[in-house]
Amino acid sequence: MLGSTQRQLASPELLLQVWEKVERIEPQINIDRVRQVLSDLSTIWEELFTQEKRRLIELLVHRIDLTTTTLTILFKPNGIDSVVSELSPQSPEIEDHGLPI
């Protein structure tokens, strides 16, 4: 499932959408850095606590459909907005943990 999600996260459309939102918060971060972080999801994923993984999935994924031959992940249209909002320095829920962005 992580491989399928990584491929979807690597799409040019999603990359541009994420970069535009990150750029508003951290203008010094360029699109190449966002591409690198999105493509290295498995490494980042391994560093997250279970609660953080669950929260990311709750924010990003609308539904997962699994059949005997396919796996379909439907993302929430505003999921990236929700993640960016929670990771924003203005968010009361975040502390500086040296995230690799």
Q: Where are the domains of the chain?
A: 2-87
Q: What is the pLDDT of residues 6-47, one digit of tens each?
A: 666 667 887 888 888 888 888 888 888 888 877 777 677 788
pLDDT of residue 89: 63
Do 11 and 35 contact (CB within 8 A), yes or no?
no
Which pLDDT belongs to residue 37?
Answer: 77
Give the model confidence (pLDDT) of 49-94 as tens digits.
Answer: 999 889 888 988 899 889 999 888 888 888 877 877 777 666 555 4
Q: How far apart are CA 33 and CA 69, in angstroms?
A: 35
Which residues are CB-contacts of 3 (< 8 A; sequence separation ≥ 6)? none
pLDDT of residue 51: 92
Q: Which two tokens stand for residue 39?
A: 């493509």
Cross-strand pairs, 73: 64
pLDDT recorded at residue 94: 47
